Chain A
């Protein structure tokens, strides 16, 4: 697996209302070599920032991020060829009217011949079982089908690393399971943020991000347990929004 290395990485954005920049991520040192890496954390904790740094969509304010030895700032084009990115909402990712056309768009740079490009796009769709849906308008597809279509468009160029930003957030149970099985069958290194703790349990290693820092880094069971305890801390105080309980008075979780 290619190594994704964060060396003293910080990321920040300017604020209109304050001279101090807003810190999105701070003092991150990581070496990610596992086949499946999960990233969990609360909304706004810095998960998406961490993932965008891997593809070069965000540049670090300080420090460096390298993918398989390539710096995401100095060699951003090469990094983007090697790192596929799947967004939460496939509608903002699919830029062509049909899935087949979108997969062909991914291949335009690398495959000049139209017939060959069409054949390769067909093969990429076939691999994910999407060929019957290839010529349908993306608006006629279900959320799960769209997400798989976006995945097919990214996988068509055979990236070494696949980064997914909360890919199951908009999916129902069935489509989430479909996505989970599809991801399990891929050869690529996967780095994925998610709020789906079952999906996080499938990973080899899980990072918990809290207020722009890596608060926990370890095996999935321990990471999920740590995240649960932090998230629910304080919620059970009387009159302060106690967690839902079932009919027997026990926490259904």
Chain B
């Protein structure tokens, strides 16, 4: 089981401006980048934003390798999207869409690379606090985010393993040989995770 293909960068200890920035500000940055991807219509602005965000990422000391590792898992998908959009809507639109997706990934990676997961979860619990009045359990919100962060590399790793095993059997062109095992393994993983959480008493309603 490989599990290294993580879409976002893992936390990197450091003392950069971004490490010291309040969590709320970093959340806002990610939110603003997500929002901007809907508003921006000029690919050059998207490209400029991406350059700025990459610069900020490198300022954190996380390094080019981590930046590449955060983007790499999506490289093929981005290529497919880019080519498809280019054929459908032309080069400027294709470039804008691909660049906007990259902006979102790098912005989210900035957050995860400079914030320990537990602080991230504390932030989620705080943000979800007002929903307690409606009967919601903020700890469950946080647990969901935590599990999501953990599950992405697992599923990506499963895909790599399944692809290798399909190749070994000469079935690399058979979509069923790729999709079905990943789906079944993911469901099994979800069940095992649920059992592990139950065994630890996590995810239950607060006393």
Contact = CB atoms under 8 A, between A and B. Distances in A.
Contacts of A97: 10-11, 117, 149-150, 153
Given A97-B149, A101-B117, A101-B118, A57 B154 contact: no
B-side interface size class: 35 or more
Contacts of B196: 85, 87, 92-93, 95
A1 interface: no
Contacts of B202: 95, 105-106, 108-109
Given A114-B118, A117-B118, A139-B3, A98 B207 contact: no
B172 interface: no
B47 to A, nearest CB: 31
Interface in B30-57: none
A96 B117 contact: yes
A215 B193 CA distance: 32
A139 B2 contact: yes
A139 B4 contact: yes
A85 B139 contact: no
A98 B83 CA distance: 37
B193 A95 contact: yes
A139 B119 contact: no
B79 interface: no
A77 B117 contact: no
A84 B196 CA distance: 10
**Chain B, interface SS category:** helix
Contacts of B154: 91
A169 B10 CA distance: 30
Contact of B146 (A84, A96, A118): A96
Nearest to B199: A85
A81 interface: yes
A91 B118 contact: no
Interface of B: 1-4, 10-11, 13, 116-119, 121-122, 139, 142-143, 146-147, 149-150, 153-154, 157, 189, 192-193, 195-202, 204, 206-207
Interface of A: 55, 57, 77, 80-81, 84-85, 87, 89, 91-98, 101, 104-106, 108-109, 114, 117-118, 135, 137, 139, 153-154, 157
Given A106-B200, A108-B142, 20 more contacts: A57-B198, A57-B199, A77-B201, A89-B192, A92-B189, A92-B192, A92-B196, A95-B197, A101-B118, A104-B118, A105-B202, A108-B202, A109-B201, A109-B202, A114-B122, A118-B118, A137-B153, A139-B2, A139-B153, A154-B200
29 contacts: A55-B199, A80-B201, A85-B196, A85-B200, A91-B154, A92-B189, A92-B196, A93-B196, A95-B146, A95-B147, A95-B150, A95-B193, A95-B202, A96-B146, A96-B150, A97-B10, A101-B117, A101-B118, A106-B202, A108-B121, A109-B201, A117-B118, A118-B118, A137-B10, A139-B1, A139-B2, A153-B200, A154-B200, A157-B200
